[in-house]
Structure 1
Amino acid sequence: MQVRYFATVSRSEAESAYSRLEVAFEEDGSPVAITEIDEATDRWEIAAYLGGGDDAEESFDRREEFRAAAGLAADVEIGREELPDQDWMASVLAELKPVRAGRFVVHGAHDRDKIGAHELSIEIEAGLAFGTGHHGTTAGCLTMLGRVVRLRRPRSALDLGTGSAVLAIALAKLARVGVVATDVDSVAVAVAAGNVGANGVSARVETARADGFAAVAIRRRAPYDLIVANILAGPLIALAPGFRRHATDRADVILSGILTGQAAAVRAAFRSQGFVHVETLTRGDWVTLHLRRAS
């Protein structure tokens, strides 16, 4: 049984709650949604689709778990709605509106007719991999990619922890460059490969499974002028030496999956490996870093 837990709050509260819920329920893959209810009164709904236990008893209630994970105040009312069994991840993603970040528009097949001729379309269907563009980290990376590529077009690129391959597809379309897109999760790699094909960039994007930098595909095409990694702060810090080994002199590095309170630690880890800070982009509780390897 699936149960939808939800609350109605302001936009800023909903965006913060969305970021927290994605982190809290990332490992079990529970879908999280954010929806505008009333623009005039700034009312937004934040929701999570959680397992309801082995039976449908009303006594199995995760409202307080939802409240704590979302960081909602004690006076915010939490709703609970039992739902029939179905693929709620696919259902939620199918209803998401297109996301615009710089020249990029991330959308589902149902929104193809809403894409402008001057916009770079990235079509991502509902699947088991993360990365629809709606999270602040993905949107931040897309925006930063546009800025970096406009100033310095790379000759080789790596998307580490590619998820749904949104960033690899964006690079292939914008920079028209070869991209290695890897993920530690074999399911994500399969989803990524499907999305790469659907977007017509299979000739430029090579997908592969990799634990960090440990993959033949990564070594074969190293070093890279541009490395993007939208994962989490802990793995980024641990992998900092690998970034240096696989980056060219003056290579650009774009990092996300970093909470605002973690940015200083990530910057310090990369500074120790010879990377200098260029720019920070903040979206809600998340930051995207642009670093450059010193020559």
Structure 2
Amino acid sequence: MLCYALGAMYQITAKGPREAIEAAWDALAWADPSPAGAVDAKEDGRHAWRLDAYAEDGEDAEACKAIILDTSPSLNPVVEALEDRDWVTMSLEGLPPVEAGRFIVAGSHALAKSAPGKTPILIEAGPAFGTGHHGTTLGCLIGLEHVLKSGVPRKVLDVGTGSGVLAIAAIKAGGKRAWGTEIDRDSVRVANENAAKNQVANAFQTFETGGGMNTTIRADAPYDLVFANILFRPLVGLCPTITHLTAPGGHIILSGLLAHQEPLVRAAYTGHGLCLVKRIRKDGWASLVFRKPH
């Protein structure tokens, strides 16, 4: 999954086969601490993939390069100094609207021109993950469209909510209440601001909390729908908690995993008695929809 950071000063780019790019992405994303403030991997043409990492200084940039070369020696990472600006926001400005089923996600500049009959979700460019353009967010919205065919989830939990786009979509589709969780304080602020901008602040609130959730979220369980668009390892680690918080007959939509990581996540959740009902793949990323038996 793409992780955002403000004011990145150096960009580290590598191109090559998917296996090498995914291995390097995994190494950078899971280094503790990671010299990269942001990491993204995506297809870059037929049979070619691209890795982009961002670091705040030259030393961290060289450390990123060393990790890439150590993990995937066949790659040739290139370090480029960038002007000190908010590259995340700038890269998102002017992006076209994203349509997923009944939903259309865009900034105010594009929503005014959006297609009639769609459910609009206003998400401006900013530091929190989730504009709908990334394969994981798009996959989750498509998964939500599938869930809505069997009924509207009244209570929703969005683990790692980012911009809040998924919870906002669920509320706009008829949900009554949604809670979001985030470990990043800026994302908490942005998600709550987006709830207000989309006029759902009375139904959606995000808390700064980790995998243990908090007393409010636990007290309000079970949930008809749980989103978790995070990372592969937390998805597996949180499996017992997420399963416990999901109501019988409820759905779980997972993403943030590369296609080759999908079998392990699927095994973890089916091992807890859940049924896989839909799989979506976008740009090398997998999104999984599970249902908890009654």
Shorter-chain TM band: 0.7 to 0.9
Flag the 1:72–1:96 CA change in 2: closer, same or farther, 3 A: farther
| Structure 2: 5+ residue stretches without partners | 1-7
Give the superposition deviation at 1:279. 1.4
Residues 120-269 of structure 1 aligned to structure 2 (within 5 Å): 120-269=119-268
What's 2:58 paired with? 53
Asked whether the 8 Å contact 2:28–2:64 carries over to 1, the reply is no
Q: Distance in 2 between matches of 1:146 and 1:21?
A: 30
Flag the 1:92–1:72 CA change in 2: closer, same or farther, 3 A: farther
Asked whether the 8 Å contact 2:27–2:68 carries over to 1, the reply is no
What's 1:29 paired with? 37
Flag the 1:240–1:116 CA change in 2: closer, same or farther, 3 A: same
Q: Tell which deviates more after alignment, 151-160 or 16-25.
A: 16-25
Give the superposition deviation at 1:52. 4.5
Say which of 2, 5, 8 aligns to 2:9.
Answer: 2
Superposed CA RMSD: 3.6
Give the superposition deviation at 1:126. 2.7
What's 1:293 paired with? 292
Flag the 1:271–1:123 CA change in 2: closer, same or farther, 3 A: same
Q: Tell which deviates more after alignment, 189-198 or 65-74.
A: 65-74
Flag the 1:221–1:61 CA change in 2: closer, same or farther, 3 A: closer
C-alpha deviations, 1:185-216, integer Å up to 9, x for none?
Answer: 22221111111111111111122122124312
Asked whether the 8 Å contact 2:96–2:106 carries over to 1, the reply is yes
Number of corresponding residues: 282
Q: Which residue identity is paired with 1:114?
A: K
Give the superposition deviation at 1:220. 2.6
Asked whether the 8 Å contact 2:223–2:250 carries over to 1, the reply is yes
Residues 112-123 of structure 1 aligned to structure 2 (within 5 Å): 112-123=111-122
What's 1:274 paired with? 273
Q: Which residue identity is paired with 2:9?
A: Q
What's 1:111 paired with? 110
| Structure 1: 5+ residue stretches without partners | 55-59
Give the superposition deviation at 1:82. 3.7
Q: Distance in 2 between matches of 1:20 and 1:122?
A: 34
Query: Once the two structures are aligned, what percentage of the paired residues are identical?
Result: 35
What's 1:85 paired with? 84
What TM-score do you get using the length of structure 1 for normalisation?
0.79
C-alpha deviations, 1:32-90, integer Å up to 9, x for none?
Answer: 69899xx9x9x999865544527xxxxx878966976998975x8x7765433222222
Q: Distance in 2 between matches of 1:291 and 1:61?
A: 41
Q: Distance in 2 between matches of 1:70 and 1:120?
A: 44
Q: Distance in 2 between matches of 1:139 and 1:66?
A: 30
Asked whether the 8 Å contact 2:10–2:58 carries over to 1, the reply is no
Asked whether the 8 Å contact 2:140–2:253 carries over to 1, the reply is yes
Q: Tell which deviates more after alignment, 103-112 or 252-261.
A: 103-112
